[in-house]
Amino acid sequence: MSALVDTPRLARQRRIASGFSRAASSYDAAAGLQREVADTLLARLPTDCPTATVLDIGCGTGYVTAALARRYASTTLGLDLASGMLATARASHPELAIRWLAGAAERLPLAAGSVDLIASSLALQWCDSLEAALDEAWRVLRPGGHLAFTTLCDGSLHEWQGAWRAVDDGAHVNRFLSEETLAATLARPGWRWCRHEVTTRRCWYPDLAAARQALKAIGANTVVAATSSSAHALRGLTGRQRLARLEAAFEEYRRPAGIPISYRVATVVMQR
């Protein structure tokens, strides 16, 4: 029974994992914004707390994991859904004693109360339930342990979404939690305290092709709710016409620095 219930979730995770595995070799060169966000997260990590075991959820190529391993003389775990990301992470940091684990934020392969500090940068927006990820973090953290993460809120990629709306009604951009829903989720009883802030960051591109290429290079082009929308067929548009329409709509966002893609980034630190 539970296998049947799990099927859509697992299928969704497999699609996300294969998208990121395909992007593993191009990720680092294209991940400027992800690096800035990770550095902000690392700067917010609590000091003066036990750090015998630290975990990076959705570690990707291991940028945050390596920083944790260097900062704390501890058991460091890097966990990700995508085997390709884990292989790149392992190969990129051979000098560090990091345990790389395959797994999902919603079902961590770790014992209850076994982790002192969890970090996670720009991964939890890929979970179908932030609550489930928070519940798992709560389970594996020891009492008094900290969870620090960044995630994306509604308004992220709005230029991309707006441009696609001019083409068809299909789902071309992932949905992100509203800031109100995020705040309500974080305010659930249990956690001892929680601080969070939301800021806007922008990446600038010379044109549509460069923006598309960048999203693909970091693996962010998997659309989890992709529909087989036939809207474009109904409108009788060819592939070339769709692309021209998308380009024109994207151009509407152009500013002197280029065309932006915005990210609403939440940085959260909480204590169990």
Ligand X SMILES: C[S@@+](CC[C@H](N)C(=O)[O-])C[C@H]1O[C@@H](n2cnc3c(N)ncnc32)[C@H](O)[C@@H]1O
Least separation in angstroms between CB 186 and ligand X: 18
- In terms of CB distance, is 64 or 163 closer to ligand X? 64
- In terms of CB distance, is 51 or 121 closer to ligand X? 121
- Give the torsion through C-alpha atoms of 68, 69, 73, 76, to 10 deg: 90
Least separation in angstroms between CB 38 and ligand X: 4
Residues contacting 188, CB < 8 A, separation 6+: 131, 134
- Cα–Cα dist 165/213, whole Å: 20
Least separation in angstroms between CB 58 and ligand X: 3
Least separation in angstroms between CB 149 and ligand X: 10
- Cα–Cα dist 241/243, whole Å: 5
- In terms of CB distance, is 130 or 270 closer to ligand X? 130
The beta strand positions in the chain, using DSSP E, are: 53-57, 75-80, 98-102, 115-121, 141-153, 193-205, 259-271
- In terms of CB distance, is 56 or 116 closer to ligand X? 56
Least separation in angstroms between CB 164 and ligand X: 20
The residue ranges that bind ligand X (CB under 6 A) are 16-17, 20, 31, 34, 38, 57-60, 63-64, 80-82, 85, 104-106, 121-123, 126-127
- Cα–Cα dist 259/157, whole Å: 12
Least separation in angstroms between CB 247 and ligand X: 26
Tokens of 116: 């002192």
- In terms of CB distance, is 78 or 168 closer to ligand X? 78
- In terms of CB distance, is 39 or 154 closer to ligand X? 39
Q: Which of 145, 108, 138 is nearest to 123 (CA)?
A: 108
- Cα–Cα dist 56/120, whole Å: 5
- In terms of CB distance, is 57 or 68 closer to ligand X? 57
Q: How many CA atoms lie within 13 A of 72 on its CB side?
A: 25
φ, ψ of residue 81 in degrees (nearest 5): -75, -30
Least separation in angstroms between CB 109 and ligand X: 11
Residue nearest to ligand X (CB): 60
Tokens of 149: 């993460």
